[in-house]
Structure 1
Amino acid sequence: MFAAALSGFVMGGTLIIAVGAQNSFLIEQSLKRQWTGLFVLLFIVSDAISISLGAMGFGLLLQEYPLLVSVTKWAGVIFLLWFAFNKLKASMADDALVLEMSKKQTSFKRAFLIAMAVTWLNPHFYLDTLLLMGNLASQWQLDKWWFVCGAIWASIVWFVGLSTLTAKFAHLMQRPSFWRWFNRLNAAVLGAVSIQLASL
């Protein structure tokens, strides 16, 4: 029981940290203090749903419908490249505009759609949580739900910790130079994720 939960926590944490697009989005929302708690909850619930479905064997559907995976993959690639382009474009503005854009409130609808896209349009999300974590959970047989609980706890610890730590130091990050380089780093991460997805 404990071994299954610990294994789920370690494996879940390792995979969650690697989902760069989600983390970049959450860091930006935490710095801007915009609906952070809601998006933390959204990411945790999304992980919980996908990992639980994987433990029930739904990951096998991905292998039976490769066209669905392919469509999702290329939609994700296009979205992430568009998102990366906008971040790179924002990083090239003058200091006053960069600072103004860093404080600009994003509409809730737009932010929510981006949060959903970096999660559910990311094939890595399905492959990691639904397929890989589902297969790992099934190996624990009677203790598989303890494995799932451990993985969900990893999601809670990571997203709550990331948003809380970022918000705590937000006041130190209100300089144009920070946002300029943050946007460039964001663009690089998103671009790298999109290239990685395209190569799957």
Structure 2
Amino acid sequence: MQAFIQGVGIGGSLIMAVGAQNAFVLKQGLKRSHSLPIAALCSLIDALMITAGVAGLGHLILAFPLIKDIASIGGAIFLLVYGAKALKSSFNEQTISEGATKGAETLKAAVLTTLGISFLNPHLYLDTVVLLGSISAQFEGVDRPLFGAGAVLASFVWFFSLSFGARYLSPLFQNPKAWSYLDRFICMTMWTIAAVLIWPYL
């Protein structure tokens, strides 16, 4: 069980860091717009990447840096555009109910955005496949998949907690300024991650 507990702790610490996925899940939860399918999709993506890392595929990414380069540049462009949309939205003061109505999107659009935010962010590969995969290598036998299972559990608990927890913040977002601040926070999060991704190429 020590390996499982370590998987929960280390996996949770990586997942809970402020990032593009978390910001998007939070906003979808506040809008109550496909929030549970998005939380489930983020969890499944993490589970897939963690499993790949535990299986040893992190060595493949390290061996072919072009994979990281493509994800970095593509991800930076995607996050810059998404951040710009959030910034534009922040100047239209609205309550949470108005934000949910004006920001309504189809499940397909929400899923595609989630896939873009996830797979175009190389941190997903570095944190889950490479880092967690490297840490799991210290375990042998059944302990290695138990470590991975702990990290996967942490991901599911975190994303669904974030999605459900966002609903308790709904009264705060009846204030139009709060909704604007959230959009600006999301913009800064996306642009900061984009800057970190593209900086090495400048």
| Shorter-normalised TM range | over 0.9
- Contact kept? 1:91, 1:184, Cα under 8 Å: yes
- Equivalent residues in 2 for 1:157-176 (5 A)? 157-176=157-176
Question: How far, CA to CA, are the matches of 1:196 and 1:120 in structure 2?
Answer: 16
Count of matched residue positions in the alignment of Structure 1 and Structure 2: 198
Percent identity among equivalent residues?
Answer: 34
Moved over 4 A (4+): 96-99
The equivalent residue for 1:153 is: 153
Question: How far, CA to CA, are the matches of 1:3 and 1:97 in structure 2?
Answer: 46
The equivalent residue for 2:82 is: 83
Question: How far, CA to CA, are the matches of 2:65 and 2:58 in structure 1?
Answer: 12
The equivalent residue for 2:191 is: 191
Question: How far, CA to CA, are the matches of 1:39 and 1:163 in structure 2?
Answer: 9
With over 3 angstroms needed to count, the CA separation of the structure-2 counterparts of 1:91 and 1:98, relative to structure 1, is farther
- Contact kept? 1:53, 1:59, Cα under 8 Å: yes
With over 3 angstroms needed to count, the CA separation of the structure-2 counterparts of 1:4 and 1:97, relative to structure 1, is closer
1:195 Cα deviation from its structure 2 partner: 1.2
With over 3 angstroms needed to count, the CA separation of the structure-2 counterparts of 1:25 and 1:96, relative to structure 1, is closer
The superposition leaves residues 167-194 of structure 1 with CA deviations (integer Å, 9 ceiling, x where unpaired) of: 1332431221111111111101111111
1:19 Cα deviation from its structure 2 partner: 5.1
Compute the RMSD of aligned alpha carbons. Answer: 1.7
- Contact kept? 2:95, 2:174, Cα under 8 Å: no
Question: How far, CA to CA, are the matches of 1:18 and 1:81 in structure 2?
Answer: 20
1:103 Cα deviation from its structure 2 partner: 2.7
1:107 Cα deviation from its structure 2 partner: 2.0
Point out where structure 1 has 5 or more consecutive residues left out of the alignment: none
The equivalent residue for 2:114 is: 115
The equivalent residue for 1:178 is: 178
Are residues 1:42 and 2:60 paired? no
1:99 Cα deviation from its structure 2 partner: 6.8
